[in-house]
Amino acid sequence: MLKELGVNENVLNPQEKQFLDQNGYLILGQLLSPSELNDIRSHLQRLMDSEAEFAGSELLDSKHIRHPKELGVDRLADLVNKGAIFDKFYTHPRLLATIAHVLGAEFKLSALNYRASLKGYGLQKLHVDWHEAVLPGEYQVCNSIWLLDDFSKENGATRLVPGSQVMGVLPQDVLEDPYAPHREEILLEAPAGTVAVFNSHTWHGGTVNQTDNPRRAIHSYFCRRHQPQQVDQKRYIKPETLNRISPAVRRLLEV
58-97 pLDDT, tens digit per residue, is 875 444 444 556 789 999 999 999 999 999 999 999 999 9
The span from the CA of 3 to the CA of 96, in Å, is 10
141-to-107, 181, 221 alpha-carbon distances in Å: 9, 24, 7
**What's the CA gap between 26 and 221, in Å, rounded?**
15
CB 61 within 8 A of CB 231: no
Distance from C-alpha of 118 to C-alpha of 59, rounded to nearest angstrom: 20
Give residue-wise pLDDT tens across range 9-20. Answer: 999 999 999 999
H or E element in which residue 47 lies? helix 34-51
Phi, psi of 154 (to 5 degrees): -70, -35
The whole-model pTM stands at: 0.94
Q: How do residues 126-171 score in pLDDT, each as one tens digit?
A: 999 999 999 999 999 999 999 999 999 999 999 999 999 999 999 9
The whole-chain average pLDDT of the chain stands at: 94
CATH-assigned architecture of domain 14-50+70-253: Sandwich (2.60)
Query: pLDDT (tens digit, 9 = 90+) per residue, 87-121?
Result: 999 999 999 999 999 999 999 999 999 999 999 99
- Tell me which amino acid residue 116 is: A
Q: Are 179 and 38 in contact (CB under 8 A)?
A: no
d(CA 164, CA 166): 5
- Calculate the alpha carbon distances from 235 to 114, 157, 232, 242 in Å: 19, 33, 5, 12
Instruction: Give the separation between CA 93 and CA 87, rounded to whole angstroms.
Output: 12
CA pair distance 140, 134, nearest whole angstrom: 8
How does DSSP assign 160-228, residue by residue?
E-TTGGGS-S-HHHH-S-TTSPPTT-EE--B-TTEEEEEETTS-EE-----SSS-EEEEEEEEEETTSP
Express as a percent the part of the chain with pLDDT over 90: 91
- Angle CA(167)–CA(161)–CA(96) in degrees, nearest 5? 90
Task: Indicate the domain borders of the chain.
Answer: 14-50+70-253
Who's near 42: CB < 8 A, 6+ residues apart?
none
